[in-house]
């Protein structure tokens, strides 16, 4: 790495870190507010809440990294352009690509980081996040059933307890279960005990009865000494073998398990997510190249380059919105998955060609050949 490369690279690192920290912190705070219910409603501890909020950072970094690189490139190039440093570099013989090379190296590092986040760290962190949330929310005795309150666990299941004791013990229980709309059931019991079993969570009731409407229109009352209410399907999260798209590794997204009903139903969504994980890192390079085109190309302007920066920002945001739109469209139209790659990779190739002047290379050679034919040099 030459002295010029080290200078430009060092000038970019500090702004990049500062912008990344600030942007990630802002987005992170918005995500924290959406998870306050983990403590307020579900009774989670502060440590569990902090763990959940920290585990979402890899996903945030994967989203904001292209934009932070873009903002850093604009900041550095705008300062170099305003201080006429780029003009000095060009006058000393440095080509456009020579000036852009350190920023391109930074974009490549951002691309590698994004691949690591998308393919490994993000699904791994989301799995830990889901397990943490399940641990907090699985304790229905703590998070849902409260003394003297009618609590709707989910749609169709209402629970009441006169007294809640430690260890998931209840006194004076009333449960109204209308999971089956044709035969709603009302349970009344002197005591109840919540337990997690190998078959899922169960609410064991002792000394009571349950009431169901009969075919003759009367209510049938059946007493029991002990019974259990299955709460497995009423957990807020899915079963232990279920993984949402954000929790899956790339192989699980591109090659869903066709023996699982969810994978069959969501095959298009899973594959679209997988191709998005592979294509999104290339936006790091595309956005840096857009910033370079906006500020390296073009004449010096003593009034500043705010208009160019505004145009470049609009183009970058527009392209990213198109990328998100393509990902959503690919869920129902698999042919759009290839377009997810074409947009960032093709856009990067076009920007790089314009930046180094490849489109004009053939024209320059044609002009040179025509000049030599019209005005041949005389032999000395």
Which of 194, 215, 234 is at the close of a domain? 234
| pLDDT at position 147 | 84
Please state, in angstroms and rounded to a whole number, the distance separating the CA atoms of residues 163 and 173: 9
User: Of 156-160, 217-221, 373-377, where does mean pLDDT reach its minimum?
Assistant: 373-377
pLDDT, averaged across the chain: 81
Asked if 9 and 95 sit in the same domain, the reply is: yes
- Between these two residues, 234 and 139, which has the higher pLDDT value? 139
Contact (Cβ atoms closer than 8 angstroms) between residue 114 and residue 335: no
Asked if 327 and 224 sit in the same domain, the reply is: no
Which of 234, 254, 273 is at the close of a domain? 234
For the cut 70, the answer to whether the pLDDT of residue 254 exceeds it is yes
pLDDT digits (tens, 9 = 90+) for 303-361: 667 888 999 999 999 999 999 999 999 999 999 999 999 999 999 999 988 887 754 44
Give the pLDDT band of residue 238 (cuts 50, 70, 90): very low
- Residue 380 domain-assigned? no
Contact (Cβ atoms closer than 8 angstroms) between residue 137 and residue 153: no
- What is the 3-class SS of the chain, one letter each residue? CCHHHHHHHHHHHHHHHHHHHHHHHHHHHHHHHCCCHHHHCCCCCHHHHHHHHHHCHHHHHHHHHHHHHHHHHHHHHHHHHHCCHHHHHHHCCCCHHHHHHHHHHHHHHHHHHHHHHHHHHHHHHHHHHHHHHHHHHCCHHHHCCCECCCEEEECCEEEEEEEEECCCEEEEEEEEECCCCCCCEEEEEEEEEEEEECCEEEEEEEEEEEEEECCCCCEEEEEEEEEEEECHHHCCCCCCCCCCHHHCCHHHHHCCCCCCHHHHHCHHHHHHHHHHHHHHHHHHHHHHHHHHHHHCCCCCCCCCCHHHHHHHHHHHHHHHHHHHHHHHHHCCCHHHHHHHHHHHHHHHHHHHHHHHCHHHHHHHHHHHHHHHHHCCCCCC
Asked if 194 and 279 sit in the same domain, the reply is: no
Counting residues of the chain whose pLDDT is more than 70, the rounded percentage is: 78
Asked if 160 and 109 sit in the same domain, the reply is: no
Give the pLDDT band of residue 166 (cuts 50, 70, 90): confident
Asked if 16 and 113 sit in the same domain, the reply is: yes
Please state, in angstroms and rounded to a whole number, the distance separating the CA atoms of residues 346 and 363: 22
Asked if 120 and 253 sit in the same domain, the reply is: yes
Asked if 267 and 344 sit in the same domain, the reply is: yes
Query: Which helix (H) or strand (E) element contains residue 154?
Result: strand 151-154
63: three-class secondary structure by DSSP: helix
Please state, in angstroms and rounded to a whole number, the distance separating the CA atoms of residues 334 and 326: 10
Contact (Cβ atoms closer than 8 angstroms) between residue 134 and residue 247: no
Counting residues of the chain whose pLDDT is more than 90, the rounded percentage is: 35
Count structural domains, the chain.
2
Residue 271 tokens read as: 């594959």
- Residue 256 domain-assigned? yes
pLDDT digits (tens, 9 = 90+) for 79-104: 887 777 776 776 776 666 777 788 88
Residues 6+ apart with CB under 8 A from 27: 60, 63, 64
Please state, in angstroms and rounded to a whole number, the distance separating the CA atoms of residues 70 and 319: 13
Asked if 103 and 157 sit in the same domain, the reply is: no
Asked if 33 and 121 sit in the same domain, the reply is: yes
| pLDDT at position 295 | 84
**How does DSSP assign 289-335, residue by residue?**
HHHHHHHTSS---TT-SHHHHHHHHHHHHHHHHHHHHHHHHHTT-GG
User: Of 5-9, 59-63, 105-109, 310-314, where does mean pLDDT reach its minimum?
Assistant: 5-9
77: three-class secondary structure by DSSP: helix
Residue-range definition of the domain harbouring residue 167: 144-234
Please state, in angstroms and rounded to a whole number, the distance separating the CA atoms of residues 35 and 157: 24
- Residue 376 domain-assigned? no
Asked if 42 and 120 sit in the same domain, the reply is: yes
Please state, in angstroms and rounded to a whole number, the distance separating the CA atoms of residues 298 and 187: 78
Contact (Cβ atoms closer than 8 angstroms) between residue 85 and residue 262: no
Which of 217, 234, 251 is at the close of a domain? 234
| pLDDT at position 236 | 44
Asked if 306 and 162 sit in the same domain, the reply is: no
């Amino acid at each position: 790495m030459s002295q010029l490369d080290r200078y430009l690279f060092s000038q970019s690192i500090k702004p990049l870190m500062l912008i990344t920290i600030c942007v990630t912190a802002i987005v992170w705070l918005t995500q924290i507010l959406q998870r306050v219910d983990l403590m307020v409603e579900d009774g989670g501890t502060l440590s569990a809440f902090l763990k959940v909020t920290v585990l979402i950072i890899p996903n945030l970094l994967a989203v904001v990294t292209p934009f932070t690189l873009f903002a850093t490139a604009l900041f550095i190039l705008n300062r170099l352009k305003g201080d006429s440093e780029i003009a000095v570099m060009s006058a000393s013989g440095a080509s456009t690509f020579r000036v852009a090379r350190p920023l391109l190296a930074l974009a490549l590092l951002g691309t590698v980081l994004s691949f690591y986040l998308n393919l490994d760290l993000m699904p791994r962190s989301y799995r830990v996040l889901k397990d943490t949330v399940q641990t907090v929310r699985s304790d229905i005795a703590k998070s849902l059933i409260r003394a003297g309150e009618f609590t709707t666990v989910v749609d169709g299941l209402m629970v009441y307890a006169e007294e809640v004791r430690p260890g998931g013990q209840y006194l004076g229980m009333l449960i109204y279960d209308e999971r089956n709309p044709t035969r709603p059931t009302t349970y009344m019991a002197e005591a109840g005990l919540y337990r997690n079993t190998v078959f899922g969570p169960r609410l064991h009731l002792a000394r009571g009865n349950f009431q169901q409407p009969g075919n003759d229109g009367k209510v049938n009352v059946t007493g029991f000494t002990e019974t259990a209410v299955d709460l497995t399907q009423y957990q807020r999260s899915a079963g232990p073998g279920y993984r949402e798209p954000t929790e899956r590794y790339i192989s699980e997204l591109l090659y869903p398990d066709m023996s699982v009903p969810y994978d069959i139903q969501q095959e298009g969504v899973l594959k679209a997510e997988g191709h998005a994980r592979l294509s999104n890192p290339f936006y790091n390079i595309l956005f840096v190249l857009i910033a370079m085109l906006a500020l390296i190309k073009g004449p010096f302007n003593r009034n500043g380059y705010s208009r160019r920066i505004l145009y470049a920002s609009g183009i970058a945001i527009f392209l990213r919105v198109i990328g998100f739109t393509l990902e959503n469209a690919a869920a129902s139209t698999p042919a759009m998955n290839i377009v997810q790659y074409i947009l960032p990779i093709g856009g990067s190739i076009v920007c790089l060609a314009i930046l180094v002047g490849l489109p004009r290379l053939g024209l320059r050679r044609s002009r040179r050949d025509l000049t030599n034919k019209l005005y041949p040099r005389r032999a000395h």
